[in-house]
């Protein structure tokens, strides 16, 4: 394991991202990548996620969001760096 400090990124994904299995696919990807955080649908039709983990793992999770699962049609991804909270596990609230 690396001594690299963890990072945290909040992501808002735009496009056809609700009703296509985005949250569940995202949770599977995060579990496979050892990324902690959460993902949820927002009332405006976007999906919001927070990823915490190693810089490389979080970057890979953010990159995955640019395409999402097979039936998603992502039109944009907004990211913002945040203070690490020390989350463990990944959930869909």
Q: Taking residues 1-28, what's their average pLDDT?
A: 92
Write out the residue range of the structural domain in which residue 20 sits.
7-80
Total domains in the fold of the chain: 1
CATH of the domain at 68: 3.30.70.100
Q: Is residue 1 part of a domain?
A: no
Query: 60 in helix, strand or coil?
Result: helix
- The answer to whether residue 90 is domain-embedded is no
Find all residues with CB under 8 Å of 59, minimum gap 6, and list them: none
Looking at residue 2, its pLDDT comes to 53
Active-site amino acid positions: 23, 41
Q: Categorize the per-residue pLDDT at 1 as very low, low, confident or very high, splitting at 50, 70 and 90.
A: very low
Does residue 38 register a pLDDT over 50? yes
The answer to whether position 20 is within a domain reads: yes
Q: Is residue 58 part of a domain?
A: yes
């Amino acid at each position: 394991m690396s001594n690299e400090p963890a990072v945290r990124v909040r992501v808002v994904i735009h496009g056809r991202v609700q009703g296509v299995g985005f949250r569940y696919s995202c949770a599977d990807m995060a579990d496979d990548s050892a990324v902690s955080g959460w993902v949820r649908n927002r009332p405006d039709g976007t999906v919001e996620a927070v990823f915490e983990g190693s810089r490389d793992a979080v970057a890979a999770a953010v990159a995955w969001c640019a395409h999402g699962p097979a039936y998603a049609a992502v039109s944009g991804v907004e990211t913002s760096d945040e203070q690490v909270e020390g989350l463990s596990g990944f959930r869909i609230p």
